[in-house]
Amino acid sequence: MKFCLLKKYSLLVLLVLLFCYGHLYAQQPLLLSKAIQTGLNNYQTIKVKEHILNASNYLLQNTKNEYLPNVVASLQQNYGSINGLYGPAAPYGALGISSAGPVFNSQQWNAAFGSLYLISSNWEAFTFGRKQSTIAAAQAQVKTDSSDVEQEKFILGVKIAGAYFDLITARELLAEAEANLSRADTFRNVVLVRTLNGLNPGVDSSIANSEYANAKLVLIDAITNKQQAESALAQLLRQSPESFLVDTFFVTHLPSNYTTSSNTADNPQLKFFNNKIHQSEIQTNAIKKSILPGINLFGIFQTRGSGFGTQYSTAFPNDYSKSYFDGITPLRSNYVAGLSLAFNIMSITKVKQQVLAQKEITEAYKQQYDEVAVQLQNTLVLADQRIQNTLLSYKEVPVQLKAASDAFLQKKVLYENGLATIVDLQQALYLVNRAETSAKLAYINVWQALLLKVAASGDWNLLIQQIN
């Protein structure tokens, strides 16, 4: 009996331990590096741009394959008549039947089988740099699309880090709101006891109740703010909103490095616009060279069969066979080989406007580059200023917090002894709440300032290497 009870208790303890372990495992914090990687893997915009990049790579390979010769094989078997007629004909704008036969005095409907087998090769062997410029344009497109993917990843990473820090801020403000509510409750109880004992006027309890209600409203706002921050982060991670457990490292440590060797020119956004400018210039060159001629090497070998005999004419109108195999059997073969040079004389006039249009596009890209460069440079200067300011605030926060805490304790003791008014105590409570809020945000404000510098300089490692 004792053994059974011991076995049951052991099983119960094991289940409790497993539950606690599972609960602890489920509550593992979402690290910033993990959040960024999750967002990069799930975000649809990045997947869209990656597909576009893949398409550019395929088109580049297709452009390179355009240099290969064209080789066409044709097998034709037909049945029909071969009446001939003297007179000119032009194939332009109309389709017709190509027949080669004698000219009879009247229409003949004699028909037989015929065949044509040929292999044709055409190779534009030399283009004076035209095809090379087309390949260069395709390569520039690939480079631009690749940098577009990289800038999208960088921007998303910054957004996720910003949302992550916003969530930390929201959680810290929530914790402070909870502490403020607890302090207001204690404050209310002290005032209520003294009011009931006739030591303070009744209005003091009303003020204390108002302060407690206000603390509740602040807590509700803090909960709403936290939920909104969680929703914003979940949207960037492409996950359903949940109560994320964030890393407390950012509220207990300061960055160890604030400097970077990178400048705004290394920012993925500027690299993207720089590649667009380069691509447009390469495209302009390709348009210019599109007017160049090409030297073609060609060769054709064909063999034919016919059901009509060699003497089929007005004198021998019956020299033909209705047999299918007589018509498809090859009887005569020919070949031709040579080279040609083709040049569209009017293409210079046609291409001129395209070149001018592409140059205007290049100038537009340059204007975009300059605008973004100025914005990033100004942001970089602002980031350094914010880092300095937040570090100064961090140093002053302990002094402010100690002074506010001492003042609140002093006013509380004075109030309990009837030497201070409720207004004095209320003002001291405001000061300590503000000081504790500043203390809660002192660390994360520095990290947010550092993130602003990362976003401007493009040096993502400045942040990542300090959190891994």
**pLDDT tens string 387-443:** 999 999 999 888 888 888 888 788 777 877 777 776 777 788 778 888 888 888 899
Are 170 and 385 spatial neighbours (Cβ–Cβ below 8 Å)?
Answer: no
- In the chain, what's the furthest Cα-to-Cα distance? 144
| Selected residue with higher pLDDT from 188 and 75 | 75
Q: Which pLDDT score is estimated for 48?
A: 94
Residue 10 has pLDDT above 60, yes or no: no
Q: Distance between CA atoms of 275 and 282, rounded to whole angstroms?
A: 10
Are 464 and 33 spatial neighbours (Cβ–Cβ below 8 Å)?
Answer: yes
Task: Work out the pLDDT band at 15, boundaries 50, 70, 90.
Answer: very low
Least confidently predicted of 88-92, 249-253, 283-287:
88-92
The interaxial angle of helices 130-196 and 202-237, nearest 10 deg, is: 160
Are 157 and 216 spatial neighbours (Cβ–Cβ below 8 Å)?
Answer: no
Q: If you average pLDDT over residues 155-165, what whole number do you get?
A: 95
Residue 163 has pLDDT above 70, yes or no: yes
Q: If you average pLDDT over residues 37-46, what whole number do you get?
A: 92
pLDDT in tens, 350-362: 899 999 999 999 9
The helix (run of H) or strand (run of E) holding residue 119 is strand 112-126
Residue 16 has pLDDT above 60, yes or no: no
Q: Distance between CA atoms of 345 and 364, rounded to whole angstroms?
A: 31
pLDDT in tens, 194-204: 666 665 665 67
β-bridge partners, 126:
295
pLDDT in tens, 76-89: 999 998 887 777 76
Are 115 and 305 spatial neighbours (Cβ–Cβ below 8 Å)?
Answer: yes
Of 369, 144, 355, 389, which Cα lies nearest the Cα of 264?
369
Residue 179 has pLDDT above 50, yes or no: yes
Share of the chain above pLDDT 70, in %: 89
Q: If you average pLDDT over residues 1-28, what whole number do you get?
A: 43
β-bridge partners, 302:
118, 334
| Selected residue with higher pLDDT from 437 and 250 | 250
Q: If you average pLDDT over residues 116-130, what whole number do you get?
A: 92
Q: If you average pLDDT over residues 370-381, what whole number do you get?
A: 95
Of 459, 142, 132, which Cα lies nearest the Cα of 276?
142
Average pLDDT, the chain: 86
- Opening angle at CA 231, ends 157 and 393, nearest 5: 65
| Selected residue with higher pLDDT from 24 and 118 | 118
β-bridge partners, 297:
123, 339
List the structure tokens of 175.
């914790």
Its sign, for the CA torsion 213, 214, 217, 223, is negative
Residue 5 has pLDDT above 60, yes or no: no
List the structure tokens of 407.
């003042």
Task: Work out the pLDDT band at 240, boundaries 50, 70, 90.
Answer: confident
Residue 132 has pLDDT above 80, yes or no: yes
Q: Please give the C-alpha separations between residue 436 and each of 115, 178, 180, 218, 439, in angstroms, as whole numbers.
A: 96, 12, 9, 14, 5
- Opening angle at CA 168, ends 401 and 253, nearest 5: 60
Q: Which pLDDT score is estimated for 26?
A: 46
Residue 12 has pLDDT above 50, yes or no: no
Q: Distance between CA atoms of 247 and 233, rounded to whole angstroms?
A: 14
* Conformation bin of residue 118: beta by default, left when phi > 0, alpha when psi is -120 to 50: beta
The model's pTM is 0.80
Residue 3 has pLDDT above 80, yes or no: no
The interaxial angle of helices 422-457 and 202-237, nearest 10 deg, is: 10
Residue 310 has pLDDT above 50, yes or no: yes
Q: Which pLDDT score is estimated for 348?
A: 82
Which amino acid, one-letter code, is at 258? Y
pLDDT in tens, 94-109: 566 677 788 888 888 9
Q: If you average pLDDT over residues 369-382, what whole number do you get?
A: 95
Of 385, 408, 393, which Cα lies nearest the Cα of 438?
393
Q: Which pLDDT score is estimated for 100?
A: 77
Residue 248 has pLDDT above 70, yes or no: yes
> Which residue is it, tokens 């495992």?
25
Which amino acid, one-letter code, is at 79? Y
Q: Which pLDDT score is estimated for 199?
A: 57
Of 305, 303, 304, which Cα lies nearest the Cα of 321?
305
Q: Which pLDDT score is estimated for 1?
A: 44
pLDDT in tens, 191-238: 777 666 665 665 677 777 888 898 899 999 999 999 999 999 999 999
